[in-house]
Amino acid sequence: MYTRAVRVVDLETCDGVGFHVGADTDLAFLLFKPVSFLSRHISGNAKISTAALLTRHHPILFTNYAPKDASLRSSSSLGSPSSRAFRALKWCEPGSGYQCCPFYAELRADRPGFFEFRVVCSCECPSEELLNGSGVVLSRFFLHVDDVAPALTLSSLPAITPPLLAPRSSSATQRSSSNGCPLAGMSVQTLIVKCLGILSSWPQHFRTAAACGYTAVHFTPIQPRGSSDSSYCICDQLGIEPRLFEVPTSAEERFQEVEKMLTKAREEYNLVPLVDVLLSHTAENTLWLSDHPDAGFSLNSAPHLKKAFVLDTALKQFTHNIKSGVHGSIDIKVPADIDNLIALFVSHYLPKIRLWEFYVLNARLEVENFSKLHSLNHFCHPPSSHSIGEKTLQEIQGLIVQHPGNGRFMRHISNVEEAIKICLSVEEYEEVLSKLNLAFYQEYDSDIKEAMNNLRNRLAYDHFDPNGPHHSNFPVIPRYFKLMSPTSPFDVNLVGDLSGVIALAHHGWVMNDDPAVDFAGPHRKCYLHRQVNVWEDTIKLRYGDFNPHDSQPPWLWDHMAKYVTEMAQLFSGFRIDNCHSVPLEVLRFLIARARSVRPDLIILAELFSTSPEAFQAYTGSIGIHGILKEGTHYQLPTAMSHLLFESGGALLGPMGQPQENFGPNPAKPYPVKGWVFDLTHDNPPVYPSTNCLALAAAVCMSNSVTGSTRGFDELFPFHVNVVTEKRLYAMYDWDLSSTEWPGITLAKTYFNVLHNQLAISGFSEMYSSHVGPLVSLVRHNPLSLESVHMITYPSVGGIADQLPTVEVLGEIFEVLFVGTLTAVHSSQSFFTSSSTMYGCKCDFTFDTNVKLPVNSYMTLTSIPGSYSCTLSLRNFPPGSAICFKSRPPPNTAVALSKLGALLKECDTPATLFSGLDLTSMNSLLFHCKEEEEAETTFGPYEIPDYGKLTFCGIQGWMSVISSITTKFPMDMGHPLLENLRKGDWPLDYTTNRLNKYRDLHAVASWSEGVMDTIKLLPRFLIPKFFCLAISALYRAAIDYTISQMSSFVRKSPSFVQSLALSSVQVLSCLQSTPLVSPKILPALSRAPSLAAGLPHFSVGYMRNWGRDTFISVPGLMLVTGRFNEARDILLTYASSVRHGLVPNLLDSGVKPRYNSRDATWWFLSSLMDYCEMAPAGYEIFQQPITRLFPHGPSALRCTLADVIQEILTSHANGIHFREIGAGPDIDKTMQDEGFIVDIHLDSSTGFIFGGNQHNCGTWMDKMGESHRAKNFGIPATPRDGAAIEIIALLYKTVSKLAQFHKVGKYPSAGVVIGHEENLSFASWSSLIFANFHRHFYIPLAPSNDKDFVIDKTLVHRRGIYKDTLKSSIKWADYQLRPNMAVAMSVAPDLFRAHQPECEHALEVVSSLLVGPLGMRTLDPADWAYRPNYTMDDTEDFHTSKGFNYHQGPEWLWPFGHFLKALVLHKRYASLSEMKSHILTLLGPHIKCISESPWSSLPELTNLNGSTCHSGCPAQAWSCACMLEALYAMYSAS
CB 160 within 8 A of CB 749: yes
Average pLDDT over residues 369-393: 68
Average pLDDT of the chain to the nearest whole number? 85
Please give the Cα distance from 133 to 124 (Å, whole number). Answer: 13
Determine the 3-state secondary structure of 1500 from DSSP.
strand
Model confidence at 155, pLDDT cuts 50, 70, 90, reads: very low
Model confidence at 1303, pLDDT cuts 50, 70, 90, reads: very high
Backbone angles phi, psi at 999, to 5 degrees: -80, -10
Burial of 855 (0-12, 13-18, 19+ CB in 10 A): middle
pLDDT digit string, tens, across residues 935-980: 888 899 999 999 999 999 999 999 998 888 766 455 667 899 889 9
Which range has the worst mean pLDDT, 472-486, 750-764, 1036-1050?
472-486
pLDDT digit string, tens, across residues 323-338: 888 888 888 888 899 9
pLDDT digit string, tens, across residues 510-525: 887 776 688 998 989 9
CB neighbours of 940 closer than 8 A, spacing ≥ 6? 928, 929, 932, 948, 949, 950, 951, 952, 956
DSSP letter (8 states) at residue 853: S
Answer yes or no: is pLDDT of 86 > 70. Answer: yes
Average pLDDT over residues 1310-1339: 94
Please give the Cα distance from 497 to 297 (Å, whole number). Answer: 17
Please give the Cα distance from 331 to 983 (Å, whole number). Answer: 84
Kindly report the pTM of this predicted structure. Answer: 0.59
Catalytic residue positions, numbered = 577, 580, 682
| Predicted pLDDT at 897 | 59
Average pLDDT over residues 113-138: 58
Answer yes or no: is pLDDT of 152 > 50. Answer: no
pLDDT digit string, tens, across residues 1205-1255: 999 999 999 999 999 889 998 889 989 999 999 999 999 999 999 999 999
Q: Burial letters for 769-791: b for 16+ Cβ neighbours within 10 Å, e otherwise? A: bbbebbbbbbbbbbbbbbbbbbb
CA neighbor of 1158 nearest in space, from 1256, 1016, 1294: 1256
Determine the 3-state secondary structure of 773 from DSSP.
coil
Helix or strand run (H / E) with residue 1475: helix 1471-1481
| Predicted pLDDT at 809 | 74
**% of the chain at pLDDT higher than 90:** 53
| Predicted pLDDT at 834 | 86
Determine the 3-state secondary structure of 976 from DSSP.
helix
Spacing of C-alpha 1526 from chain mean position: 37
Sign, CA dihedral 347-349-353-359, equals negative
Model confidence at 890, pLDDT cuts 50, 70, 90, reads: low
Beta bridge partner(s), residue 986: none
CA neighbor of 551 nearest in space, from 64, 129, 82, 81: 81
Q: Give every strand in the sheet of 787-793, ordered side by side.
A: 650-651, 765-771, 774-780, 787-793, 880-887, 811-829, 840-847
| Predicted pLDDT at 1428 | 94
Beta strands in 914-961 (DSSP E): 942-943, 947-948
CB 1335 within 8 A of CB 1230: no
| Predicted pLDDT at 183 | 83
Answer yes or no: is pLDDT of 123 > 90. Answer: no
Which range has the worst mean pLDDT, 22-31, 646-655, 1169-1178?
646-655
CB 582 within 8 A of CB 516: no
Is-cis flag, bond preceding 1095, omega within 30? Answer: yes
Average pLDDT over residues 1427-1436: 94
CA neighbor of 318 nearest in space, from 280, 346, 290, 339: 346
CB 1110 within 8 A of CB 1162: yes
| Predicted pLDDT at 1361 | 97
Average pLDDT over residues 709-737: 91
CB 58 within 8 A of CB 122: yes
| Predicted pLDDT at 93 | 58
